[in-house]
Amino acid sequence: MKKFTKALIPAALFAASFATHAETSEGNVLAVSAGWAHIMPQGTKQGVSTQLGSTGPYLPFTPSAGFELKDSDTAEFKFDYLVDDNVSLGLIVGVPPTFDIKGKGQLLGGALNLDKFSKVGDVKVYSPVVTGKYTFGAVNNRLRPYVGAGLMYAHFSNFKLDSAVVSDTASKGFSIRNVKIDDAVAPVAFIGADYNITKNWFATASVSYVHLSTHAKLDVTSNATGATLVTGRSKIEINPIVTYLGVGYRF
């Protein structure tokens, strides 16, 4: 909840700024663009810690195991409030992309070999971003590069365990249950450029980096008794590079 509150503070400031009624020298106050984002996680496995039952002693840390997210694509929408000719405050939202999660290494003394699965599951991510941006050059320049930074709130939802993992674990008498991936707040930095097609229409492209990581928890339960055999925890490093290409209009 605290993370969510912190993420909303810039959004509240963004909304409040409309009261100033600032605009560019050409009278525009809002720029909206829609386009396609390609998301490329750069993180690597971070190891897995396991605990007997849900309250028992911890077993030796397994540094060779872990989880990584694969690339994904989604439609993205950007809204920028133009404070003046160069400064803008923005909000980025998109259709929540689904990421395949690849497992690495062996767990439970080799009983669960994550390497043999193309993925262990998938998860949907809701990740709005509030931004501040500085655009170089004059309003009437054809090409205008920009730099910016912001804050992302990432919510992980609808995790689904892959059917191949379900079948493999069932054949060995246990199941993976209660998978939870924590929400996270992460800083964002980006560079890009707008190309003015007309006074109001423009094309835009950007590259962003998000310093994002989270933590996951799961239970391994006995199919015979339903008891929790092992609780596993792992940091998931994501750190995506995001490319965006879109078309926009200034109002």
Helix (H) or strand (E) holding 138: none
For 203-222, what is each residue's pLDDT tens digit?
Answer: 999 999 999 999 999 999 99
For 105-129, what is each residue's pLDDT tens digit?
Answer: 998 888 999 999 999 999 999 999 9
Cα 64 to Cα 122: distance, rounded to the nearest angstrom: 21
Cα 54 to Cα 232: distance, rounded to the nearest angstrom: 9
Helix (H) or strand (E) holding 191: strand 184-196
Q: Label residue 226 by pLDDT band (50, 70, 90).
A: very high
Contact in structure between 133 and 88 (CB atoms under 8 Å): yes
- At 1 the pLDDT is 47
- At 26 the pLDDT is 81
Q: What is the DSSP string of 110-164?
A: GTEEGGGSS-SEEEEEE--EEEEEEE-S-TT-SEEEEEEEEEEEEEEEEEEE-HH
Query: Whole-number mean pLDDT of the chain?
Result: 92
Q: Label residue 224 by pLDDT band (50, 70, 90).
A: very high
For 116-166, what is each residue's pLDDT tens digit?
Answer: 999 999 999 999 999 999 999 999 999 999 999 999 999 999 999 999 999
Domains of the chain by range and CATH?
2-16+24-250 (2.40.160.20)
Q: Does the pLDDT of residue 9 top 80, yes or no?
A: no
- At 17 the pLDDT is 47
Q: Is the pTM of this model over 0.85?
A: yes
Per-residue pLDDT, averaged over 23-32, amounts to: 87
The DSSP symbol for 62 reads B
Per-residue pLDDT, averaged over 78-103, amounts to: 98
- At 215 the pLDDT is 98
Q: Does the pLDDT of residue 192 top 50, yes or no?
A: yes
List all residues 6 or more positions away from 69 whose beta carbon is below 8 Å from its beta carbon: 41, 43, 99, 100, 101, 102, 236, 238, 240
Q: Does the pLDDT of residue 22 top 70, yes or no?
A: no
Q: Does the pLDDT of residue 251 top 90, yes or no?
A: yes
**CA 234, 71, 124, 80 torsion: positive or negative?**
positive
Q: Per DSSP, what are the bridge partners of residue 31?
A: 80, 250
Q: What are phi and psi of 110, to 5 degrees?
A: 95, -5
Q: Does the pLDDT of residue 55 top 70, yes or no?
A: yes
- Looking at residue 186, its amino acid is A
**CA 232, 233, 239, 240 torsion: positive or negative?**
positive
Label the pairing between strands 72-82 and 30-41: antiparallel
How many other β-carbons are positioned within 10 Å of the β-carbon of residue 180?
12
Q: Does the pLDDT of residue 4 top 80, yes or no?
A: no
Q: Does the pLDDT of residue 87 top 80, yes or no?
A: yes
Please count the residues of the chain.
251
How many other β-carbons are positioned within 10 Å of the β-carbon of residue 98?
15
How many other β-carbons are positioned within 10 Å of the β-carbon of residue 89?
23
- At 59 the pLDDT is 84
